[in-house]
């Protein structure tokens, strides 16, 4: 497919500068781009690579130096980039076989919407519901009474246990597990543990993406709740009874313990850990690898273990670097003062 730059600017909401007639047939990275491709220049760091590139045009963040080539300018160049990538992306749907593969095991009581693709060796149990236009890849297990909304993409090897609810336009990557038992045990006198039956479930909003091999446990009682627009990366663990507000982002290998409440628009960076029963306010950012064991106030950035406000955490790190100097000064004082 071809588009000229003027069309791309109009479709993506960016502002054209230079020759709108340049024909573009794909998006690439600066070092491998051809003259019929466009590249993203999101920050100063990429300007030099852009200048060296053979790309025919650029999507450029407002305020960056002129590249002397046709560009689409935006104050949100990432968003314009996302829209243009989408224009050129092969539509995954094109490759999806329609209908129910003869090898799929679909219960007679399951309700399958219109234009759903259920691929080879998917298993859909009693009274499960799959919304219109959803795609169920091979080796997906959908437990009884689980409901998946419309336009879902459930990749190969995903397990969704019984009685889970998932909204529209979900994307769930391979190997993710939704609705496994929460990790709850009561200690018995002998030192053994008795399992606390996990009779609750998981409820997930619309437009949620869940990463490969991520695990979202069902609640002991009630529900583990994932708000709409939440994006969860690979290998993330969400424990039982957690509640996550809309449009929160949880990056790879982060872990959220039982009964944690997370607000809206929060970012938990990679490998972060949140202790159980903690509450995290809206718009909080927790930086990578931090460990949180107390409530975090809304709108602030936290770092470290135990996590502190970023400035304080940075000051602590800097102070540690001063200890050697302190010891020298102390020695000098002791020497000179004869104490």
- Near a copy of itself in 238-297, by CB under 8 A: 239, 247, 249, 251-253, 255, 257, 264-265, 270-271, 273, 275, 288-289, 291, 293
**Using the rule CB under 8 A, is 330 a contact of a copy of itself?**
yes
Nearest to 237 by CA among 213, 266, 208, 261: 213
Given a contact cutoff of 8 angstroms between Cβ atoms, the answer to whether 161 and 145 are in contact is: no
Q: Which stretch binds a copy of itself (CB under 8 A): 2-10, 14-22, 52-60, 79-87?
A: 79-87
**Using the rule CB under 8 A, is 15 a contact of a copy of itself?**
no
Q: Which is nearer to a copy of itself, 54 or 183 (CB)?
A: 183
Q: Pattern of binders to a copy of itself over 29-68, x per CB under 8 A?
A: x--x------------------------------------
Given a contact cutoff of 8 angstroms between Cβ atoms, the answer to whether 271 and 288 are in contact is: yes
**Using the rule CB under 8 A, is 98 a contact of a copy of itself?**
no
**Using the rule CB under 8 A, is 111 a contact of a copy of itself?**
no
- 272: which 2 tokens? 């972060």
Q: Which stretch binds a copy of itself (CB under 8 A): 3-11, 27-35, 53-61, 62-70?
A: 27-35
Alpha-carbon distance of 70 to 50, in angstroms, equals 12
Contacts 24+ apart (CB under 8 A), 227-230: 227/264, 228/167, 229/205, 230/204, 230/205
Please state the φ and ψ torsions of residue 48, each to the nearest 5 degrees: -65, -45
Alpha-carbon distance of 91 to 89, in angstroms, equals 6
**Using the rule CB under 8 A, is 199 a contact of a copy of itself?**
yes
Among 101, 240, 277, 293, the one annotated catalytic: 240
Active site residue 240: yes
Q: Which is nearer to a copy of itself, 6 or 293 (CB)?
A: 293
**What is the maximal distance between C-alpha atoms in the chain?**
92
Q: Which stretch binds a copy of itself (CB under 8 A): 48-56, 57-65, 73-81, 108-116?
A: 73-81
Q: Which is nearer to a copy of itself, 203 or 233 (CB)?
A: 233
Distances (CA, A) of 270 to 77, 146, 277, 291, 339: 24, 30, 20, 11, 50
- Which residue from 1, 52, 63, 186 is in contact with a copy of itself, where contact means CB under 8 A? 186
Q: Which is nearer to a copy of itself, 19 or 98 (CB)?
A: 98
Given a contact cutoff of 8 angstroms between Cβ atoms, the answer to whether 111 and 100 are in contact is: no
**Using the rule CB under 8 A, is 211 a contact of a copy of itself?**
yes
* Site residues (CB under 8 A) for a copy of itself, limited to 143-162: 144, 155-157, 159, 161-162
**Using the rule CB under 8 A, is 113 a contact of a copy of itself?**
no
Nearest to 237 by CA among 224, 228, 246: 224
**At closest approach, how far in Å is the CB of 268 from a copy of itself?**
12
Given a contact cutoff of 8 angstroms between Cβ atoms, the answer to whether 253 and 236 are in contact is: yes
Active site residues: 240
């Amino acid at each position: 497919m071809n588009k000229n730059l003027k069309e791309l600017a109009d479709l993506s909401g960016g502002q054209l500068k230079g020759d709108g007639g340049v024909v573009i047939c794909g998006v690439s990275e600066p070092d491998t781009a051809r003259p019929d491709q466009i590249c993203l220049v999101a920050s100063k760091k990429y300007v030099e690579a852009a200048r060296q590139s053979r790309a025919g045009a650029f999507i450029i963040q407002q305020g960056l130096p002129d590249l002397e080539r046709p560009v689409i300018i935006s104050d949100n160049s990432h968003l314009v980039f996302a829209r243009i990538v989408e224009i050129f992306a092969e539509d995954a749907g094109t490759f999806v076989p329609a209908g129910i593969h003869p090898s799929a095991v679909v219960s007679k009581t399951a309700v399958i919407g219109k234009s759903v693709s259920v691929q080879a060796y998917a298993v859909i149990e009693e009274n499960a519901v799959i919304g219109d236009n959803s795609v169920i890849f091979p080796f997906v297990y959908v437990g009884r009474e689980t409901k998946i909304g419309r336009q879902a993409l459930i990749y190969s090897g995903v397990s969704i246990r019984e009685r889970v609810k998932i909204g529209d336009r979900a994307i769930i990557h391979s190997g993710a597990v939704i609705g496994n038992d929460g990790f709850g045990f009561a200690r018995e006198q002998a030192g053994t543990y008795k399992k606390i039956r996990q009779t609750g479930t998981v409820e997930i909003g619309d437009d949620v993406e869940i990463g490969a091999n991520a695990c979202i446990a069902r609640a002991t009682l009630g529900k583990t709740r994932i708000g709409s627009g939440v994006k969860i990366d690979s290998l993330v663990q969400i424990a039982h009874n957690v509640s996550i507000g809309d449009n929160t982002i949880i990056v790879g290998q982060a872990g959220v313990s039982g009964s944690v409440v997370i607000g809206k628009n929060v970012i938990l960076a990679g490998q972060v850990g949140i202790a159980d029963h903690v509450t995290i306010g809206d718009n909080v950012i927790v930086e990578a690898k931090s460990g949180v064991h107390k409530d975090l106030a809304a709108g602030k950035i936290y770092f470290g273990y135990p996590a502190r406000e970023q400035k304080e955490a940075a000051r602590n790190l800097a102070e540690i670097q001063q200890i050697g100097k302190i010891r020298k000064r102390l020695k000098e004082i002791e020497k000179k003062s004869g104490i």
